[in-house]
Structures are given as structure tokens and as C-alpha cells.
Amino acid sequence: MNSFPKQLPGRQKGMAFLSITLVMLVAMTLMTAIGARVAVNSQRMAANSAHADRAFQVADAGVDTALAYMNYNREYVASTATNGWLHSGSSPKWVPCSSSDTAVPCGDGSVNLYGSDWLAYGPVPNLQQVDADFNNDIYLISDNIDDVPANQPWLTCMQILRTAAVDPDLLVRLNLIYNMLVAHGSPLQANLCFPLHFNTALTPPPPSSSNPTLRAVASARNTADARGGRAQVQQDLQTNSRFIRDPLAPLVVHGTPHLDGSIRIWGNPRPPSHPPYDWSILNLNDVAGLNVSSMLSAYLTANATTLASLLNMTETEALALNWNVTFPLAIWSDQSTAFSNSPANANFMNGARTCMPPFDNVANSSCLTLSYDNIAPGLMMRMPDVQDPVNTANTLANLVDSTAPVSFPNDLLDHLFGVPESQVAEIREDATVLSDCTGLSSKPGGFYWVTGNCAITGTVGSEADPLVLVTEGTVSMAGSSEFWGVMYMRGNSHREIEGSWSGLRPTIFGALMVSQTVHLYKNLNIVYNNDVIRRAGYRAGEFVRLPGGWTDEFSGP
């Protein structure tokens, strides 16, 4: 009872203070809560942006993974053999898209992008996960993986030959010019050429089976944040040739080519005219005193209808092409002695011949025995510098002049592959290294490096699947054997190729390049084949990014 009034004033005094404190507390709590909310929101935004960034990086890295995977497996990518990605029993393998397929890579997840003409491969095994928080899916898609790029339309040529029959291989026989050249006393074969890509009237080919597309599609998504962390990147790929320059003659020798047997060489009927090979185009006003230019225009006008129908263009367009006359090549060497048949420099036995296309392994009717007298342009010559694109020595007189200054590439390996001899290990790494040529005939097209002697039997490579072979020992070719592709000999000693006296003459289809003096003996054919050379380069080459072919996911149509 007594204590009750004692507490009353204290309670009254506390009320006001308590209320104010409470109000302030509530106000501060609200402020803090709002502040925290803003902070959380901005953190969320920052996290979203970080996730999107990382997703993009992971997806972009996926393209590199795809590229490395393709190159690692390039033997199988376009192969129909066991384990080839085109083999029906292989796993994984290319699978055709269906036009109702909306899943990546045939579609974008909701819409079909690639119809049944396209093949899909994947997912590419992603052994090394770039980021543990992301699922990284990598696919490959192609509309025609089996195609290697066709002969590029640098130059289209028509041969000028002796007969008037129509050649089925888009070759027009320009008798007029040929006869005039023959009448002048030279057993010439000339070609009528025009550089296709200079003609603006021709539109570039659309994507089609002859213009293959190969595309890597890589996507990444955050396993925890499906909306914020998603990205997709795609990159078109192309096969790159192993060669930086295609061999321009069937036999290219940095040294003396000793043709000590019945060696027959079918020349390159269409020496390329694009830089650095501009020398192969002759100055039309200055060919052995003939006015070829006016002969040419007279011929073109007279045959405009035929040309237009062969080229599938109008007469005006056909005549507007930049026409040239070029000469074929058989041997390219830096040694002037190689062109002498004098007793002191008997580099050529009587059996060595150069031949006019087409190739014929039995009749050889178009072959000419080599002698100093009939070394004509196009059959065999040494050339002014081809590495130097500025070359004005392109008149007929200079081409046959054996005293003209010679600038042959010092490093043939560099000239062909773009890797100097001092860094040979770099390019050797990319090749399949073998100790000899046993079993080579069952190998698919690609890049091979033989460290020992190489005995070729049967058929090595094929027209569709040729190979690039670097040899460091001697080479022998058995009777009836064939080699398809480009052979590069680089040994320090024993650079020789032994043909065969028995069976059909062994034949190299493509080209042979030798880093130093070489001996060729017994029966042997070397047949220049531009398609085989190009295909071999691509089969041995690598996949690379196609410039212009990178794109990420953005709101396109």
C-alpha cells in the first residue's frame, strides 16, 4: 500500500521519453531498411552484370574449345571411315538437323534455324570446365562438312591447243593464236585467262554445298541464376591451307634437278596470275614480236557467243573480262645448269620429257624430249623472283633467257609452309610423324612427316583425299604406285626418288618440292594437279576463325 504512490511519478516521466525514443527508433529502422533495400538491389544489379559478363566469357571460351577440338580431331571431322564423324556407326557423329528441330544448335531454343541440309555435332566434350558455376554447351554445325574449299576463282583459263575439238573441261581451243605462235617457230602451249574476282559483274556465290559453312555454337548458363547468367556466342570456321603458296610447278627444286631416267613431267597449264605470281601473265604487246593483243581481241570478238555460253554470262560481260595469255610451267629451279643439255652438264638423260596435259600414262603422245633447243616457255624454265610481287620481267624474252638474274626463294620450306627452316620443329609438331612409309597407303588425307626412307607401294592418298608428305630420307616408288598430294623432300643427304622399270610408270599427282639438289631416276611421272594440291593443303591444314563470322546473341530479327 505504501509503496504504490512512490512509483507513480516515475512512470509518468518515462512515457514521453519512451514515445519519442520509439518514434525515432521506428524512423531510423525504416531509413535503415530502405537503405538496405537499395543496397541489396544495387548488389543484385552488380551480381547480374557480373554473371552476364562471366557467362559471356565462358561462352566465348567455348568457341576456342570447339576450335581446338576440331583441330585435334581433324582426321575424323570429314571422314566416313570408322570413327569418322560421317561414319554411321560412330559416336559421336554428325547428325542431320530436322526442320522441326528447335533445340540448339539446329535452333535457338524456340525457333528452328537450320533445316535438314545442316549437320549438327555435339555437345563437344568439355573436359576443362572454365567456370564451375556455369554449364558450358558447345556444338558444331555445318551445311557441308565434306567439302574442302574449291579451287578459288583467282583465275579461269582456257587452253589454246593445236586441235579444234571442243574440250569438255571448259577449255576453248584458241587455234588462231596457237597457230600464229607455232608459225613463229616455238612449240608453245598458251592459255587464255581472266581473273574472275576482278569482274564486278559477277556476284559472290551464296552459301551452298560448294561454299561450306562450319560453325561453332557455344552457350553458357549460370546454374544458380538462369535469367541473369546466360550467353551464347557463335563463330564461323574455315579450313586454312597448310600452304601459304601453292607449288606453282610440278617440280620445284632449290638446286639442280638431275633427271637421270625416263622422267615425264606434265606441267602446270594454269600458272596463277595473282600476286606474287604476276609474272606468268605476258605482256600482250610484246610476245616474240607478235601483236597478241590484237589477235586476242579479234579472236574474242569472233567467238563471243561461244565464250558467253561457256561462262554463263552475256557477251558483253565475257568480253569485258580481263583476258590474258599465260604459259604453263614444268620445272622451276634456281640452277641455270639445269637447263643445259651440254655434255658437261648432263642433267637430263634423253628419256626426260615434259608433256602437255591431259595426263596419259601409256601413250605419252604429247611429251617432248628435253633438249636445250626445245626448252620453250611453259615447258621448263627458271623464273625471276616470284616472292617479289613487283616483277616486270614478264616478257617472253626474259622468260627463256637463262642468263637473266634469278631470285629463287632461299628457303623453300618458308616459301611453301610459311615456316622458316630454322623453326622446322614448329611445323613438324603439327604433322603425324612416321619412321617410314609402311601403311601410308591406308592413311587418310592429312599432314605426314617421315623421318626415314620412304618406300611407296600401291596408292597413297587419292584425288579426293590427298596428303602432304615431308620426307627426310630417300623415296622409292614401286611400279604402278601412285602418290596423290604434295611431297616435300628436305633431307641433308640422299635426296633421290627411285622410280620403277616394271609395271605402269609410278606417278606423283600434285607436286614435288625439294629443298636441295635431287636425283630422279628410272621411270617416273610427275603430273601437276592444282585441285589435288589445293585439297592436300586444306586436308593438312587447320581450322581457323573466319573473319566476320563471330557473333553473340543479340536481338536480331
Partner 1 sequence: MLNRRISSRRSNAGFSMIEVMVAMTISLLLFGGLLNAYVSTISSSTQLMTTAHLDNELHKMLDMMARDIRRAGTHGNPQVLVTGVTNPFGVEGTGAYTGETANSCLVFSYDWDSDGVLDTSGQDERYGFRLKQGVVQSRVSGLGCDADGTPNWENVTDPRSYNITSLQFAPTTVSADDMSIRSVRITMAAELVSDTSVVRSLSKTVRVRNDLRNP
In the bound state with partner 1, the residue whose beta carbon lies nearer, of 78 and 259, is 78
- C-alpha cell recorded at residue 440: 601410308
Least CB distance to partner 1 at residue 549 (A): 4
350: phi then psi, degrees, rounded to nearest 5: -65, -20
- Judged by CB under 8 A, does residue 29 bind partner 1? no
Q: d(Cα 482, Cα 506) in Å, to the nearest integer?
A: 6
- C-alpha cell recorded at residue 13: 516521466
Q: Quick one: which of 188, 355, 343 has its CA closest to 262?
A: 355
- C-alpha cell recorded at residue 224: 544458380
Q: Select the residue interacting with partner 1 from 22, 31, 170, 302 (CB under 8 A).
A: 31
- Judged by CB under 8 A, does residue 9 bind partner 1? yes
Q: Report the site for partner 1 in 238-267 (rule: CB under 8 A).
A: 238
Least CB distance to partner 1 at residue 152 (A): 7
Least CB distance to partner 1 at residue 41 (A): 10
Q: d(Cα 69, Cα 84) in Å, to the nearest integer?
A: 14
Least CB distance to partner 1 at residue 13 (A): 9
- Helices (H), ranges, 303-395: 304-311, 315-320
For the residues of 229-294, what is the DSSP string, one character each? Answer: SEEEEEEEEEEE-S-SS---SSEEESS-EEE-SEEEEE-BSS---STT-GGGB--TT-BTTB-HHH
Q: Quick one: which of 234, 266, 415, 278 has its CA closest to 352?
A: 266
- Judged by CB under 8 A, does residue 45 bind partner 1? yes
b/e map 27-54, b = 16+ CB within 10 Å: eeeeeeeeeeeeeeeeeeeeeeeebbeb
All residues at 6 or more sequence positions from 318 whose CB lies less than 8 Å from its CB, including other chains: 300, 304, 307, 308, 311
Q: Which stretch binds partner 1 (CB under 8 A): 147-155, 156-164, 264-272, 457-465?
A: 147-155
Alpha-carbon 70 to chain mean position: 15
In the bound state with partner 1, the residue whose beta carbon lies nearer, of 278 and 360, is 278
- Judged by CB under 8 A, does residue 185 bind partner 1? no
Sheet strands side by side (includes 475-477) = 257-259, 518-521, 496-498, 475-477, 454-456
- Judged by CB under 8 A, does residue 83 bind partner 1? no
Q: Which stretch binds partner 1 (CB under 8 A): 300-308, 384-392, 509-517, 544-552?
A: 544-552
- Judged by CB under 8 A, does residue 38 bind partner 1? yes
Least CB distance to partner 1 at residue 548 (A): 3
Q: d(Cα 414, Cα 417) in Å, to the nearest integer?
A: 5
In the bound state with partner 1, the residue whose beta carbon lies nearer, of 6 and 89, is 6
Structural element, H or E, at residue 76: helix 74-77
In the bound state with partner 1, the residue whose beta carbon lies nearer, of 49 and 100, is 49
The count of residues interacting with partner 1 (CB under 8 A) is 38
Q: d(Cα 391, Cα 45) in Å, to the nearest integer?
A: 62
Q: Which stretch binds partner 1 (CB under 8 A): 40-48, 255-263, 327-335, 338-346?
A: 40-48
* 266 close to 331: Cβ distance less than 8 angstroms: no
Q: Select the residue interacting with partner 1 from 205, 358, 458, 503 (CB under 8 A).
A: 205
Q: Which stretch binds partner 1 (CB under 8 A): 160-168, 394-402, 522-530, 546-554?
A: 546-554
- Judged by CB under 8 A, does residue 552 bind partner 1? yes
Helix/strand/coil for 81: coil
- Judged by CB under 8 A, does residue 209 bind partner 1? no
In the bound state with partner 1, the residue whose beta carbon lies nearer, of 204 and 439, is 204
All residues at 6 or more sequence positions from 304 whose CB lies less than 8 Å from its CB, including other chains: 315, 318, 319
* 521 close to 202: Cβ distance less than 8 angstroms: no
- Judged by CB under 8 A, does residue 556 bind partner 1? yes
Least CB distance to partner 1 at residue 405 (A): 28
- Judged by CB under 8 A, does residue 182 bind partner 1? no
In the bound state with partner 1, the residue whose beta carbon lies nearer, of 59 and 120, is 59
- Judged by CB under 8 A, does residue 554 bind partner 1? yes
Q: Select the residue interacting with partner 1 from 149, 255, 351, 479 (CB under 8 A).
A: 149
- Judged by CB under 8 A, does residue 548 bind partner 1? yes
In the bound state with partner 1, the residue whose beta carbon lies nearer, of 421 and 552, is 552
Contacts to partner 1 by CB under 8 A: 2, 5-6, 8-9, 28, 31, 35, 38, 42, 45-46, 49, 53, 149, 152-153, 197, 204-207, 211-213, 236, 238, 545-552, 554, 556-557
